[in-house]
Amino acid sequence: MSALSTDPIIAIATAPGRGGIGVVRVSGPDLLAWAQSLCGQALRARHAHYLPFRDGQGEVLDEGLALFFPGPHSYTGEDVLELQGHGGPAVLRRVLEDCLARGAAIGLRLAQPGEFTQRAFLNERLDLAQAEAVADLIEASSAAAARSAMASLSGVFSAEIDALSERIVQLRMLVEATLDFPEEEIDFLEKYQAADRLDAVTATLDGVLRTARQGLVLREGLHVVLAGQPNVGKSSLLNALAGEDVAIVTPIAGTTRDRVIQQIHIDGIPLHIVDTAGLRETEDTVERIGIERSWAEIARAQVILHLQDARHPDDPLDAEIVRRLPAGTPVLRVLNKVDLIGDHTAALGDPARVPAGVLASGGAGHAEVLRISAHTGAGLDALRARLLRIAGWTPGAESPWLARERHVRALEATREHLLLAREHASHSDQVLDLFAEELRLAHEALCEITGQFTSDDLLGEIFSRFCIGK
């Protein structure tokens, strides 16, 4: 764990740009005397004082509210002063610079990104999962994500982790005590029903892991790439999903030369939809660069929607595209422009001609086929639903808290160690020292989530991604 810096820190805590209100925040130990000198009057704890913000020469820079929060009952656990004035960048900068000049004697410096929240974590005002939830709440792109981030910040996720941790600790205590008395090892598993207790912990962990995966989808969404030949309707589909004209659509093949990215929400889940240049051989230098970028984007995709013209479902160029798609990435074959196919073409057994929105077998290279019309909207609801299922989202089962990739990895590592412990318990020789070691590793992996066992490098990576002033 990195040592807590005691330097007083300051930053503008509100977002860049103009606003009705702007906040300059200061945090550090023993700030009361300096804060009262700065404000020119006595400050009552947690009381809003309306006053002018004057510089060292007495010139009024702004006027607003000064609030003083004495530690440890503050956001950071230290003394905190907030100056809440007008939200213009120039006036906030003047107040900030004056505070820095007048705070030189106490070592006041600009805060690093996330340093206020890092101090809250190091001063045990928040655990690591709660600290991350602060950033998640700020970045939430939907009401569902904001609700779940607030739940994480309130400690709902941490409480589940702590409860699991306590159950593993109880098992560890029993094992460690038994190891001190070797003659009792043989009876340990039966006497304390250790195997059954371990199975119960694993079952609870599985439930937390399922919820965490839902929370991860809610936080990060899904990276979806639209791929296919020119003029199959990729840009039209992007516009239809987005509900606005974000991409240029013309009958001219090759209109899209570079990627177009749009975030949409389906049931509160963010989907990052990427429209790419049509895939074909070309002598056009600019278009060729766009196609190269398309393949690079396809390589990074979490889901690929391979769009084809429903009138030409067996085009050999599409077969060539399928051969080049990355292995292991889910691919959904989408036959667009079904509105241009007459009823006389409907034929049973042909997945290209089943009703719009109905999934069918896709044959070699594709798991399934979906027929849509980006122009009329036919089949789009089925496409949205399928994307949610691919993302691992269960409709109507809103995650009670957000999760990050590192949380899911830690839970998966915990589960792996618990399963290994169960395997040792099943052996006839019942090697308790190995059983105990796997329980220890499971406990450490689980506690990485809340920050009890967390490297300095990880802390630096996490907090460096916060905005300055938070």
User: Where do the structural domains in the chain lie, given as residue ranges?
Assistant: 9-126, 143-217+401-450, 227-372
Copy the structure tokens of residue 149.
Answer: 């981030």
pLDDT at residue 454, rounded to an integer: 62
> What is the SS3 assignment for 60?
strand
Q: How far apart are CA 194 and CA 212, in angstroms?
A: 26
Topology at the third CATH level for domain 227-372: Rossmann fold (3.40.50)
Q: Do 143-217+401-450 and 227-372 agree at the fold level? A: no
pLDDT at residue 192, rounded to an integer: 64
pLDDT at residue 355, rounded to an integer: 57
Copy the structure tokens of residue 41.
Answer: 């009057």
Provide block-wise average pLDDT over 10 residues at a time, the chain (470 residues). Answer: 74 89 96 96 96 94 96 95 95 96 95 92 92 88 86 92 92 74 56 80 94 86 88 87 60 52 83 84 76 87 90 88 88 90 47 51 57 89 87 70 91 95 72 84 93 68 72
Topology at the third CATH level for domain 143-217+401-450: Four Helix Bundle (Hemerythrin (Met), subunit A) (1.20.120)
Q: How far apart are CA 263 and CA 252, in angstroms?
A: 26
Copy the structure tokens of residue 26.
Answer: 């200061």
pLDDT at residue 38, rounded to an integer: 95
DSSP assignment of 109-165: EEPPTTHHHHHHHHTTSS-HHHHHHHHHHHH--SHHHHHHHHHHHTTHHHHHHHHHH
pLDDT at residue 361, rounded to an integer: 46
Q: Which residues of 185-207 are buried (b: 16+ CB within 10 A; e: fewer)?
A: beebbeebebbebbeebbeebee
Continuous segment of H or E residues that includes residue 288: helix 285-300
Copy the structure tokens of residue 242.
Answer: 């987005």
pTM listed for this prediction: 0.74
pLDDT at residue 412, rounded to an integer: 96
Topology at the third CATH level for domain 9-126: Gyrase A; domain 2 (3.30.1360)
Alpha helices in 154-256 (DSSP H): 156-179, 185-191, 194-220, 234-242
